[in-house]
A and B are shown apart, each in its own frame.
Chain A
Amino acid sequence: MKKLIITALLFCATISYSQNEFQIESNLGFLYQKDISINNEILKSTGNFGARIGANYLKKFDSNMYFETGLFLKYTTGTYKIETVDFNFNSIRLQVPFYVGYQINDLWRFNLGASVENNKDFEDLAFYLNENLRYDFLVKVAYNYSDLLDFSLYANTMVSKTKDINTLTSPRNGVYIGVIFKIPNSKTNKED
């Protein structure tokens, strides 16, 4: 599955296009997953809150189709109890999304894609270890509110279904609402 996603991402990256756009996007969301067990104790997940902030880069390669990528920081916070310890955590991860998008009409556009993010803190990453990276399927719908602003609804779900303790601080599924600020293209403005 990982190979399929990476191939798809590379394919998207090689698509040629004619128009581009930069955006800043921020999201607030709710993250959740099924209960997970740690040391034979099932941790009841009440869900976690999260936020994303980052930049998007869009390239149109057809009148209605475009390729979108970006760079995001994904923040998650939550509280758990494991055996003899109560803890709350704050987790920040780096996420790189890749989408293929479709402009439905003047108001709505729809994105389908995948993302890759660090599955551990950077100081814990090592090339010889498993589970360094995490892959997610992504869906995003954006509503064109004005020339400068879009609103978005974004959802992710982790591709791998095997047990992974790293999901404790970054749950498998998330649903976010967000605001997209479209950075005006200075060249276009001058030509206008």
Chain B
Amino acid sequence: MKKIVFLALIIFTINSCTSIDETITIDVQDYSTTTHTTINTDLKVVNLVVDQDEFNEMYDNYNEFEEVEIEGFFNLYKNGELLIEDEVVELEIKGKVSAQFDLKSLGVKFDDTYNNTDRVLIDVETLPFHSIDKIKAFRLRNSGNDFEDTMLKDISYTKLAIDAGLDIDLTYAEQTVVFVNGSYLGIMNLRTEANRNGIYRLYKEDKDDITLAKINHGGTLEKKNGDFDKIDRLITAIDTNDLDFLLQEIDLNNFIDYMVFQSMIGNSDWPENNVRFFAIKEGPFRFIMFDLDKVAIKDLDADPLDFINNPVKNPVTDLFNVLYADSEFKNNFNSRFDEIKNSGALSPEKFNAIVSYYKSNIELQMPMHIEKYNNPSSFTDWYLNLEKLKNDFSTRIKNLD
């Protein structure tokens, strides 16, 4: 008898789950028959015209260690009007973990730099020291690790930093619906790049004048472009606690804002990962922020310095600690932290308004997206995930008091 009872419990436990049966009260188009010309949306609509066999080969056999680029044509529509026609582009799959999802992020690189002065491709407000007038490359992003949750987490946190007017380099995004050869692919964020192609256009500089390094998962440094000796000198100065050199070689206002924001919002996939820093010519290094899809997912009550002092050794944590040992830097950091916190620029109300804006943009499209990918598992789940996104940020900010 006891064995039967426990066996039954184990079987039930394995099946422990929540099932949701929902009725959506808005009209939902069928993704299998909807095309870029018949979709009912106010969002911009991308249609990529490619060799379908080449695209399938690249998409289905993606391997992060093998770069596969295919050529195609980029078309952009809004409310049925063709805005950009047959721009030649190169396409490749982007991402690592997030590339395992059924909807993969695509890197799109124009054959010729696209002139965006009329804001046709991407039309968003930028920080005063940035330019999106010319765009060499951009990404159609699946929202990274947030693909299964809200589809707008990364762009919402980025918008929060933009609206706060922080001295941070970042990416700019607009929500779109993407088709490939007229077949529905899904909702994606059309986002500027955080690589050399993105940075040199952001600052209207020459591509060859950019020195760029990144920190990959595990805190490993990767020298990407430009003057590698300059990067080596920086790393040596960090390792030898050469404070004077670091004070000269780091854009301190940018570094402080970058560290304050990332630690305030509680990014747990940083700084031993998702770090890129660059210098223009002989200028100081600045940090560019991207991939905020693992923000406020754990340790919501942790001290901001705990996020900076990631247990995995990495150059950013080491750099911060060398600088933080200097009383003037420490005072500047703490003052700026208090200033941003007390300004209300990162208030839950402001974040909720951003989330609501992005949510309303894609709300009518989400059922079709969910129907295709079953991620999130239901429209109800998407609503609940949005609520959790706002709750987590609110809890995080309140815990800073």
Contacts and interface: CB of A to CB of B under 8 A. Distances in A.
A173 interface: no
Nearest to B13: A94
A181 B82 CA distance: 71
A85 interface: yes
Given A55-B5, A82-B380, A122-B16, A87 B387 contact: no
Given A38-B383, A55-B6, A165-B388, A86 B16 contact: no
Nearest to A54: B9
Contact of B380 (A24, A87, A93): A87
Interface string A92-113: 1110000000000000000000
Given A55-B6, A87-B378, A122-B16, A38 B387 contact: yes
Nearest to A57: B2
Interface in B366-398: 378-380, 383-384, 386-388, 391-392, 395
A55 B8 CA distance: 10
Contact of A83 (B1, B378, B383, B391): B383
B17 interface: yes
14 contacts: A38-B384, A39-B387, A55-B9, A85-B23, A86-B22, A86-B23, A87-B20, A89-B380, A90-B18, A91-B19, A92-B16, A121-B16, A128-B268, A163-B391
Given A84-B363, A85-B25, A128-B297, A92 B18 contact: yes
B383 A91 contact: no
A54 B20 CA distance: 24
Given A86-B25, A128-B298, A130-B297, A169 B379 contact: no
B97 interface: no
B359 A121 contact: no
Interface centre among B12, B16, B268, B352 (most CB of A within 10 A): B16
A36 B26 CA distance: 23
B359 A39 contact: yes
Given A38-B383, A40-B356, 14 more contacts: A39-B359, A39-B386, A55-B6, A73-B13, A83-B383, A84-B25, A88-B20, A88-B21, A91-B17, A118-B16, A128-B268, A128-B297, A129-B298, A183-B1
Interface of B: 1-2, 5-6, 9, 12-13, 15-26, 268, 297-298, 300, 352, 356, 359, 363, 378-380, 383-384, 386-388, 391-392, 395
A86 B2 CA distance: 41
Nearest to B28: A84
Contacts of B386: 39
Nearest to B21: A88
Given A84-B363, A85-B380, A89-B18, A71 B395 contact: no
Contacts of A71: 6, 9
Contact of A92 (B12, B379, B387): B12
Contacts of B16: 73, 92-94, 118, 121-122
A82 B18 contact: no
Interface in A37-53: 38-40, 53
Contacts of A188: none
B38 to A, nearest CB: 21
Contacts of A83: 363, 383
A48 B297 CA distance: 29
A73 B12 CA distance: 7
A189 to B, nearest CB: 13
A168 interface: yes
B9 A73 contact: yes
Contact of B18 (A54, A121, A128): A121
B9 A165 contact: no
Given A38-B383, A87-B22, A163-B391, A92 B17 contact: yes
Nearest to A77: B19
Contact of B21 (A24, A54, A89, A168): A89
Interface in A167-187: 168-169, 183
A162 interface: yes
A169 B18 contact: yes
A191 interface: no
A131 B388 CA distance: 11
A123 interface: yes
A89 B23 contact: no
A165 B379 contact: no
Nearest to A122: B16
B21 A84 contact: no
Nearest to A75: B12
Shortest Cβ-Cβ A-B pairs, 8 listed: A87-B22, A91-B18, A86-B23, A73-B12, A87-B380, A92-B16, A84-B26, A121-B17
Contacts of A82: 380, 383-384
A154 interface: no
Given A85-B379, A86-B23, A92-B12, A168 B17 contact: no
A150 to B, nearest CB: 16
Interface centre among A87, A121, A164 (most CB of B within 10 A): A87
Nearest to B14: A122
A22 B24 CA distance: 46
Nearest to A38: B387
A84 B18 contact: no
A89 B13 CA distance: 18
A60 B317 CA distance: 55
